[in-house]
């Protein structure tokens, strides 16, 4: 994934493992991010592992912990 380096993307993308960021909303900044991304060897297992942290089960568990004041 190539994402703007703000907001929710910063919580989900692991730089150099599952993607990369660009920090200015300019064609040049995006081009630099694309070039970086193309040099990476992104492994599907890293993407799957990261995605599992956002599963429905994990959400429910963390939500209940928050409600019960365990966070």
3-40 residue pLDDT tens:
999 999 999 999 999 999 999 999 999 999 999 999 99
User: Would you list the domain boundaries of the chain?
Assistant: 2-67
pLDDT score for 43: 96
User: What is the distance between the alpha carbons of residues 31 and 50, in angstroms, rounded to a whole number?
Assistant: 25
pLDDT score for 22: 98
pLDDT score for 71: 58
pLDDT score for 15: 96
Q: pLDDT digits over 37-65, tens only? A: 999 999 999 999 999 999 999 999 999 99
- What values do phi and psi take at 22, rounded to 5? -125, 145
């Amino acid at each position: 994934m190539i994402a703007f380096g703000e907001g929710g993307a910063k919580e989900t993308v692991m730089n150099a493992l599952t993607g990369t960021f660009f920090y200015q909303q300019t064609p040049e900044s995006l081009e630099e991010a694309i070039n970086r991304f193309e040099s990476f060897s992104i492994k599907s297992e890293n993407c799957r592992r990261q995605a599992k942290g956002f599963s429905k089960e994990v959400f429910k568990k963390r939500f209940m912990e928050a409600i019960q004041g365990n966070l």
